[in-house]
Amino acid sequence: MNSYILKIFLYETDPQVWRRFSVPETATFSDLHQLIQKAMGWHDEQAHQFRHGKGRHLKHVIADSREEVGPADEYTDEKDITISQFISRKKLPLRLMYRYDFFDEWTHEIVFEEKTENAESPRLLGGERACPPEDCGGPFGYKECLAGYAEWMDDDYDPAVFDMTAVEL
């Protein structure tokens, strides 16, 4: 079975939080969402969507519901489209946006870097830094946490540490 290698970056974090992993070409976008949640260390507690298109206008939405989809957007249910159907004959690298938690507004860029044959998939290949805690207030709240302004912050949280061995895709 073929797989795709992708890298996902979390916007507005400095230093950058990122993960690289393989995903089977037969995976749906619903499966991809679950893999992203596991790779980033989140718990799938919020709404999400994938957006793609040309230029600044990412009008094509792949999501689990029509909520947060504008009237001019083209909606596809994430259970109805596989990675290989999405990529089809498009040229790699291919980019799209992944939004998670519309209140905190975590925005990620996903880059499908390459297609591989007979690769073990899904498999975590790399990453840097711990993902921000769920519900920490988005990029602004996360920056405040890092600066020591959040009293509720877990004492065990170390933003510099990412333990690949703890992630089970």
Q: What is the pLDDT along the chain (169 residues), one digit of tens a residue?
A: 899 999 999 999 888 999 999 999 999 999 999 999 999 989 888 899 999 988 677 888 889 887 777 777 888 999 999 999 999 989 999 999 999 988 888 999 999 999 999 777 899 999 999 888 887 888 887 887 777 766 666 667 788 889 999 998 8
Contact 97, 107 (CB under 8 A): yes
Round to whole Å and give the CA distance between 89 and 111.
Answer: 16
Q: Is the dihedral of CA 27, 20, 88, 52 positive or negative?
A: positive
Domain covering 3-166 in this structure, CATH number: 3.10.290.30
pLDDT of residue 152: 63
pLDDT of residue 150: 62
Q: Is 158 left (phi over 0), alpha (psi -120 to 50) or beta?
A: beta
Q: Cα 76 to the chain's mean position, in Å?
A: 18
pLDDT of residue 151: 66
Q: What is the dihedral of CA 6, 10, 12, 15, to 10 degrees?
A: -80
pLDDT of residue 65: 82
Round to whole Å and give the CA distance between 98 and 52.
Answer: 9
